[in-house]
């Protein structure tokens, strides 16, 4: 029962965060909202990259070597092949090999 | 529908792999198939579902689970904000569009819609396919986890790789890269100032504040 309640709470708050702008602003569009719609994706995606890499510590541990290798692989693969699947798959394999083989 | 499927292939890759990682992890903590199904259908939020595994195993209170969810998913409010116009005329599909607005779906919905398609259907199927991938991935992972034991360390890098590709694509398709740099600079400054556990909210507020000021000064949509 506890498990179901907890999952229910997480599900409810999650949909709440997604619905809040629609509930509060009643769908009234404004030039500012349009401006945000156009430029926000360019700003938020870099933030999500930082979010994914937030635990990397350049000064301690592995110095983020695997993360750097992984990200560089993704960028190079993507510039070379321009294929999203290849870039993601390749970069993830490089990263997994790095953390599993080099640092155990 | 076909165009939506093609557009969603990158997310299929990411979601099936990441969903499997989630399913395997959930199974390894003793929560079976039915939990994977429930969570992926009703919560449907990648990073939050991983956190929920921790909440379940540590027996967290419902209140702390609610606060944690609010903090981790706060970024979704910003997605909604920038999707208001697009969802405006989605009619009966709108509630589902809002429910299913994940990071990856958002990143697909903001890219250009092909010219010769019904925009409403196109956007809906992108969202719907994405959730299907996530549910299938987590169920596969749950099954796989109950059969064999594999070393999945590092598998979650798939999410990072996906975001890096999206930023790179945005970078290549824009002329001035001001907004990309702005996003990196603000979030790195906030990471250094507030630390990895608490930087997301300050970053979002600073980004929104910064963009508002730029808008007031006559900021251009030209990216």
Nearest to B150 by CA among B15, B1, B21: B21
Asked if B59 and A2 come within 8 Å (Cβ–Cβ), the reply is yes
What are residue A50's phi and psi, to 5 degrees?
A: -60, -40
Cross-chain Cβ contact B62/A5 below 8 Å: yes
Residues from chain B that touch A52, judged by Cβ atoms under 8 A, are 159-160, 163
- The pLDDT assigned to B137 comes to 94
pLDDT at residue B77 tops 90: no
Say how far apart CA A85 and CA B47 lie, in whole Å: 21
Residues 6+ apart with CB under 8 A from B20: B137, B138, B140, B141, B144, B155
| C-alpha span between B206 and B197 (Å, rounded) | 17
Give the tokens for residue B129.
């396919």
Of B74, B184, B215, the CB nearest to A46: B184
Cβ of A29 within 8 Å of Cβ of B85? The answer is yes
Q: What's the rounded Cα separation, in Å, for the pair A51 and A66? A: 16
Ranking A12-26, A42-56, B30-44, B68-82 by mean pLDDT, the lowest is B68-82
pLDDT in tens, B179-191: 999 999 999 999 9
**Where does the pLDDT of residue B171 fall: very low under 50, low under 70, confident under 90, or very high at 90 and above?**
very high
pLDDT digits (tens, 9 = 90+) for B118-156: 888 899 999 999 999 999 999 999 998 888 766 767 777
Between CA A17 and CA B77 the distance in angstroms is 5
Do residues A22 and B76 touch, judged by C-beta distance below 8 A? no
Determine the pLDDT at residue B222: 61
**Residue whose C-alpha is closest to residue A44's, from B81, B79, B98, B197:** B79
Would you say residue A74 has pLDDT above 90? Answer: yes
Query: What pLDDT, on a 0 to 100 scale, did the predictor assign at position A28?
Result: 63
Q: What pLDDT is stored for residue B191 in this prediction?
A: 94
Residue B213 above 60 pLDDT? yes
What rounded mean pLDDT belongs to chain B? 86
Contact A50 B187 (CB under 8 A): yes
Do B170 and A56 touch, CB atoms closer than 8 A? no
Query: What is the domain partition of chain B in residue ranges?
Result: 2-169, 174-223
Distance from CA of B2 to the nearest CA of A (A): 18
Instruction: Output B116 or A94, whichever has higher pLDDT.
Output: A94
User: What pLDDT, on a 0 to 100 scale, did the predictor assign at position B41?
Assistant: 94
Average pLDDT of B76-87? 83
Return the closest-CA partner of residue B168 out of A74, A66, A39, A15: A74
Mean pLDDT of the region A69-78: 96
Q: Does A53 touch chain B (CB under 8 A)?
A: yes
Query: Which residue reads 């994405």 in tokens?
Result: B130
Report DSSP letters for A89-104, one per residue. Answer: HHHHHHHHHIIIII--
Residues A96, B179: C-beta atoms closer than 8 Å = no
What is each CA distance from B76 to A13, A71, B82, B204, in whole angstroms?
11, 25, 10, 10
Minimal C-alpha gap between A44 and chain B (Å): 6
- How far apart CA A68 and CA A47 sit, in angstroms, is 17
pLDDT given at position A94: 94
Determine the Cα–Cα distance for residues B141 and B152; give it in Å rounded to an integer: 11
- Tokens 């594999």 belong to which residue? B150
Among B104, B29, B97, B55, smallest CA distance to A84 is for B104
Confidence check: pLDDT of B208 > 90? no
pTM, two decimals, is: 0.71
**Per the structure block, which two tokens stand in for B28?**
């390894």
A56: pLDDT strictly greater than 70: yes
Count Cβ neighbours within 10 Å for each residue of A6-23 and write b for 16 or more, e otherwise.
bbebbbebbbbbbbbbbe
**Per the CB < 8 Å rule, is A15 touching B103?**
no
Identify the residue among A18, A23, A72, A98 best suited for mutation to test binding to B, counting B beta carbons within 10 A and taking the highest.
Answer: A18
In this complex, do B98 and A15 lie within 8 Å of one another by their Cβ atoms? yes
Mean pLDDT to the nearest integer, B67-72? 77
């Amino acid at each position: 029962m506890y498990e179901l309640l907890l999952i229910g709470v997480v599900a409810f708050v999650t949909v709440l965060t997604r619905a809040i702008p629609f509930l509060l602003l009643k769908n009234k569009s404004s030039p500012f909202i349009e401006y945000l719609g156009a430029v926000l994706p360019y700003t938020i995606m870099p933030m999500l990259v930082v979010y994914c890499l937030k635990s990397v510590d350049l000064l301690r541990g592995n110095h983020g070597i695997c993360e750097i290798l992984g990200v560089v692989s993704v960028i190079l693969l993507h510039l070379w092949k321009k294929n999203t699947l290849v870039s993601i798959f390749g970069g993830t394999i490089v990263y997994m090999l790095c953390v599993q083989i080099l640092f155990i | 529908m076909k165009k939506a499927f093609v557009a969603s292939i990158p997310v299929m890759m990411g979601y099936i792999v990441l969903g499997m990682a989630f399913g395997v992890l959930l199974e390894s903590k003793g929560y079976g198939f039915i939990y994977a199904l429930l969570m992926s259908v009703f919560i449907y939020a990648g990073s939050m579902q991983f956190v929920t595994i921790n909440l379940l195993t540590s027996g967290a209170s419902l209140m702390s689970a609610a606060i944690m969810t609010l903090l981790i998913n706060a970024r979704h409010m910003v997605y909604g904000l920038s999707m208001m116009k697009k969802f405006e005329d989605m009619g009966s599909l709108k509630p589902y569009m809002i429910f299913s607005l994940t990071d990856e779906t958002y990143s697909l919905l903001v890219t250009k819609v092909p010219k010769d398609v019904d925009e409403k259907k196109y956007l809906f199927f992108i969202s719907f396919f994405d959730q299907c991938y996530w549910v299938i991935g987590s169920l596969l992972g749950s099954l796989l986890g109950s059969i064999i034991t594999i070393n999945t360390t590092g598998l979650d890098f798939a999410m990072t790789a996906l975001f890096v590709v999206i930023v790179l694509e945005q970078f290549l398709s824009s002329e001035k890269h001001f907004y990309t740099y702005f996003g990196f600079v603000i979030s790195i400054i906030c990471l250094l100032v507030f630390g990895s556990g608490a930087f997301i909210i300050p970053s979002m507020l600073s980004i929104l504040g910064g963009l508002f000021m730029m808008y007031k000064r006559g900021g251009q949509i030209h990216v």
